[in-house]
Amino acid sequence: MTGSEEYDVVIVGAGFSGLYAIHRIRQLGLSLRCFEAGDGVGGTWYWNRYPGARVDIESMQYSYSFDEGLQQDWKWPEYFSPQADLEAYANHVADRFGLREHIEFETRVNRLRFDEAENRWHIAAENGRTATAKYVVAACGSLDATNVPAFPGLDTFRGQWYHTSKWPKEGVPFEGKRVGIIGTGSTGIQAVPVIARTAEHLTVFQRTPAYSLPAYNRATDPEYEQAWKANYPDRRAAMFGNFAASYMENEQYRSVFDYTPEERLRILEEAWAARNGLLFMRTFSDIGTSLEANTIVAEFVRGKIRSIVKDPAVAEMLCPKTYPIGAKRICMDTGYFEAYNRDNVTLVDVRADPITEVTPTGLRTTAGEHELDIIVFATGFDAVTGSMTRMNVTGLDGRDLRDKWADGPTTYLGFLVAGFPNLFMIHGPGSPGVLAQMITAGEWQVDFVAGVIADMEAAGRQRIDTAPEWEQRWNLEVEQAAGQTLYNEADSWYVGANIPGKPRVFMIYIGGFDRYKQRCAEQVANGYEGFVFD
Ligand code: N01
């Protein structure tokens, strides 16, 4: 379909939040259209098809809550779903609720311009599609703008190269191939053991070692599933009131220092043997806030790495020592460290021996050339802000969002940017985003935005904006919340450190999803305090 059509609402992205936004906003009786870059639904779980891609939050809770019939009917075969199951679920939801008819696929939005005379957004996509809308809901993901480091010579490489988040649907055969993978974050850690099983040789290029803990994935136990299905309303209610939008039970939640060293060790050993990584991180209450507590737990994890990896020199290279455990997103693996005990896996420390260029036949580091047939970039994303700024967004007075955010993103309550009226972000900077369970938190944010739009329409208002002073106030709350944790202690994508030149700002509200909800609701109840209407 071509031509500039007028809608009340345009939604960008048909991932989990975008799909729910279609469902929810349609209930308001407004006209809407969703533009999606891919040729299918699912967002993150559409794009990330790399070997081993799997969610690390239990699927019984990492799923929609808005429809009781859906959550009763759907069966999750595994505790932590692989990409294919999550994509199948997104497709089921799109069909079950008749959402697909509102989506235009292969329509990557690359221009969003606010026309202040009309109070409307003009939307354009790479394929030439144009539209206008009173409101835009940007549900375009926190981890979608791909980061491929600018190594010289990539265009000369005669083999194949892939970024993990743009993986070919038909898959990549590794049999008989010399494969190099750059990056050891959550993605690299999931891919390494799987690629190692079939590649002739796998060379892992590691810049910073990651703390990774066992995932303990397994087939869904029928009793566990039944316990969830019998109690979904209560458990969902608990999740909506929780700091991480997650369901937690049997919490042992006291300070490391409430225990003797022997008790601590026993608790940590029990946790390591039975709890997945995210639960392990909640063994004690102060792992994320006290450096001393954190160091005790980090040393325990380093001990585990040393006990798994047989070559002591390789084990030492794999031990993270330069930042607190949990200050970068904790990784969860299935056989990651064990993969280094295979004869066909080699580890290269590219901090000591940096990659200098891609050659026609491989990768060169300062120490020499590594001949490769396939290079896998598990190098992450221009996270949180990249999916917004790459759309070439201009607001009042033609101001570019990239200029506005040159020193770091500013938002009011994580969803509205001063000077960019009627543009609502889901999981935007300054929201709990990636530090809360994203499907549940996304549902809440979509409901919140739908409420704002409904109020606007009921009052006959044309424009909702905020003011820089309210952005400053909210940024201060975001900063203060982060300041009470150890998150600033690591060079992570949470602070933009993975992208050369990106300002170092902690971009996520870590004060808790529950607190965030309360703050949003308070400001609205207070007569939309901090908002500016026209
Ligand atoms: O990306 P990352 P990711 N030269 O940015 C390295 C979610 N996720 O795709 O640490 C050499 O974490 C970089 O090194 P360094 C999850 O939230 C969830 O793995 O910057 N190396 C790092 O090792 C996660 O946090 C799931 O020094 C370079 C790696 O590449 C987020 O997505 C699964 C480099 C990038 O790690 C992102 O994870 C997967 C360079 N120039 C992802 N540039 C689950 O739910 C970067 N690196 C399980």
Q: Please tell me if the CB atom of residue 278 comes closer than 6 angstroms to any atom of ligand 1.
A: no
Pick from 186, 349, 382 the residue to mutate for probing ligand 1's pocket: most ligand atoms within 8 Å of its CB.
186
What pLDDT score does 47 carry?
98
Give distance in angstroms: CA of 191 to centre of ligand 1. 12
Tokens for 112? 């969003």
Q: Minimum mean pLDDT among 273-277, 286-290, 380-384, 530-534: which range?
A: 273-277
Q: Does 362 have pLDDT greater than 50?
A: yes
Q: Minimum mean pLDDT among 42-51, 278-287, 512-521: which range?
A: 278-287
What pLDDT score does 519 carry?
97
Chain segment 128-186, per-residue pLDDT in tens: 999 999 999 999 999 999 999 999 999 999 999 999 999 999 999 999 999 999 999 99
Counting from 1 in the atom list of ligand 1, the atom nearest the Cα of 493 is 5
Q: Does 1 have pLDDT greater than 80?
A: no
Counting from 1 in the atom list of ligand 1, the atom nearest the Cα of 165 is 9
* CA-closest residue to ligand 1 atom 1: 380
Instruction: Give the whole-angstrom CA distance, residue 515 versus residue 512.
Output: 5
Instruction: Give the whole-angstrom CA distance, residue 386 versus residue 392.
Output: 11
Give the three-class secondary structure for 178.
Answer: strand
CA distances from 526 to 287, 467, 493, 518, 521 (A): 36, 16, 35, 12, 8
Give the three-class secondary structure for 437.
Answer: coil
Chain segment 449-470, per-residue pLDDT in tens: 999 999 999 999 999 999 999 9
Q: Please tell me if the CB atom of residue 192 comes closer than 6 angstroms to any atom of ligand 1.
A: no
Q: How many helices (H) and strands (E) does the chain have?
A: 17, 20
Give distance in angstroms: CA of 166 to centre of ligand 1. 14
- Ordered DSSP codes for 208-246: S---EEE----BPPHHHHHHHHHTHHHHHHHHHTSTTS-
What pLDDT score does 251 carry?
63
Backbone angles phi, psi at 101, to 5 degrees: -65, -15
Q: Please tell me if the CB atom of residue 186 comes closer than 6 angstroms to any atom of ligand 1.
A: yes
Tokens for 76? 């999750």
Secondary element (H or E) of residue 349? strand 345-349
Entry pTM: 0.96
Tokens for 508? 């996520």
Q: Please tell me if the CB atom of residue 149 comes closer than 6 angstroms to any atom of ligand 1.
A: yes
What pLDDT score does 278 carry?
83
Averaged over 61-71, what is the pLDDT? 98
What pLDDT score does 248 carry?
82
What pLDDT score does 275 carry?
84
Q: Does 249 have pLDDT greater than 80?
A: no
Rounded percentage of the chain residues whose pLDDT exceeds 70: 99
Q: What is the DSSP letter of 329?
A: P
Instruction: For the chain, give the mean pLDDT.
Output: 96
What pLDDT score does 252 carry?
61
Give distance in angstroms: CA of 377 to centre of ligand 1. 10
Counting from 1 in the atom list of ligand 1, the atom nearest the Cα of 151 is 41
Chain segment 100-130, per-residue pLDDT in tens: 999 999 999 999 999 999 999 999 999 999 9
Q: Which of 467, 473, 504 is nearest to 489 (CA)?
A: 504
Give distance in angstroms: CA of 380 to centre of ligand 1. 4
Q: Please tell me if the CB atom of residue 380 comes closer than 6 angstroms to any atom of ligand 1.
A: yes
Chain segment 318-345, per-residue pLDDT in tens: 999 999 999 999 999 999 999 999 999 9
Counting from 1 in the atom list of ligand 1, the atom nearest the Cα of 215 is 48
- Ordered DSSP codes for 275-310: S-HHHHTTSBTTTTT-HHHHHHHHHHHHHHHHHH-S
Q: Please tell me if the CB atom of residue 59 comes closer than 6 angstroms to any atom of ligand 1.
A: no
Q: Please tell me if the CB atom of residue 43 comes closer than 6 angstroms to any atom of ligand 1.
A: no
